Amino acid sequence: MDNILGLSGKYDFSFLKDEVVIGDDLSIKTYNNLLEFDRPTKVNNAVIIFCISGNATIKVNLQTYEIESPSMVTLMPGQIFEPMESSNNFCAHVITLSKRFIDMINLPGWQQRYLTLYNNPITEMEVEQSNAARFFLAILHRAASNVDNPFRLQVIENLVRVFYYGGVNGSSPAKDSVSPYKNNIVERFLELEHTHYREERMISFYANKLCITPKYLSKIVKENTGRSAGEWIENHVVLDARAMLQSSDMTIQQIAVSLNFPNQSFFGKYFKRATGMSPKQYRNNGAM
C-alpha cells in the first residue's frame, strides 16, 4: 500500500488539499467549512462527502441532519443541499461525479442504490471504514492527478467501481434509514418522476410510460412508499420551487415558467395549496 500511495510511516494525507478537476466529470476537494458551498443549492452531480473530523448540521431536501465524524454524506443529482453550520475542527474530502460519468460506468443495481441513497443520504462509518475510505480517496487522487497517464480516465472508472462494490455496499446505513423500494414499477416511476416532474404533473403521463392504468400506478406507489404518485410529483415540484425562492434571484414568474406552469397565478395557487403560503410570503418569510 505504501508504494501505491507513495506514502510511508504515518500516512500524510495533506496532498488531498490540492484540488483535482477532470473536465465536468470528476473533482476532488477538501473543505474545512461546509459553508463554502452555495446555500441552498440544487445538486446536479453525485456528491460524496467524507467527513473525517468534527461535526456539522446540513439539510438535504429540506430535512435536517446532524453529522458526526466519521461519516459519509451522499447527494444524488436533483437533491437540494444546504449546509447550516460546522464545527471549527470540521474537515471533509468531497468527490463530485457527473451524471454522464456515472452512466458511462454503467454500475449494475445503480437504480436501487440511487433510491436508497436518495432517501438515506447519511452513512455512519466505523473508524476502520473511515480509514479505508481515506486510502481509497488517496489512490483516486493520485490517479486523477497523473495527467501523463493516457489511461487515467479508465483507471478512475475502475477505482469508482471498486468503491461501489466494496465501499458503498459495505458501509452501514444510518440507524433511521429507510428500506429501498423493491417493486420494479415503483422504482421506474420514481426514476421517471425525477426526470420529468418539471414538465409533467399528470399521473396519466407516467402510467402511459409504464403501460399501466393511472389507478393501478397510484395504488402500487401508495402501497410501497406510503405516498401516492400525485404526492411524489407535488412534493418534488414544491421542493424545487422552495429552493428557487430561497436561493435564487429568479422572479416568481420565472420560477413558474421553469416549472412549466401556464402562468404565475396558477403556480401561486398550486404552491399555496401545498405549503399554506403564497410564493411571495414564503420568500419574504425566509422559511425553509
pLDDT digits (tens, 9 = 90+) for 243-283: 888 777 889 999 999 999 999 999 999 999 999 999 999 88
Instruction: Output 170 or 237, whichever has higher pLDDT.
Output: 237
For range 226-254, the mean pLDDT: 87
Does position 34 have pLDDT exceeding 70, yes or no?
Answer: yes
Average pLDDT value over all residues in the chain: 81
pLDDT of residue 3: 43
How large is the average pLDDT for residues 199-206?
94
Any idea what DSSP says for residue 165? I
Please report where in the chains the cell 441552498 appears, as a residue: 40
Report pLDDT for 76: 84
Distance CA 192, CA 93 (A): 32
Of 168 and 33, the one with more pLDDT? 33
Identify whether the C-beta of residue 75 lies closer than 8 Å to the C-beta of residue 46. Answer: yes
Residue 1 has pLDDT above 50, yes or no: no
Residue 175: predicted pLDDT: 44
Tens digits of per-residue pLDDT, 149-162? 888 888 888 888 88
Average pLDDT over residues 84-92: 90
> b vs e for 148-169, b when ≥16 Cβ sit within 10 Å of the residue's Cβ?
eeeeebebbbebbeebbeebbe
Higher pLDDT pick, 219 / 63: 219
Domain spanning 2-173, CATH class: mainly beta
C-alpha cell at 84: 447550516
Confidence at 11, pLDDT banded by 50, 70, 90: low
Domain with CATH 2.60.120.280 in the chain: 2-173
Q: Report, as an integer, the average pLDDT of 93-101.
A: 87
Compare 194 and 28 and report the one with higher pLDDT: 28
The pLDDT tens digits for 120-143 are: 889 888 888 888 888 888 888 889
Residues of the chain with CATH 1.10.10.60: 184-285
Residue 206 has pLDDT above 90, yes or no: yes
User: What residues contact 144, with CB distance under 8 A and at least 6 apart?
Assistant: 20, 22, 26, 28, 152, 156
Question: Is the model's pLDDT at 14 over the cut of 70?
Answer: no
Provide mean pLDDT across the span 191-219: 91
Nearest alpha-carbon partner for 233 in 202, 210, 264:
202
**Could you tell me the sign of the dihedral formed by the alpha carbons of 249, 36, 103, 221, in that order?**
negative
Q: Looking at domain 184-285, which of 1.10.10.10, 3.30.70.270, 1.10.10.60, 3.90.1580.10 is its CATH number?
A: 1.10.10.60
Better-scored residue on pLDDT, 107 or 256: 256
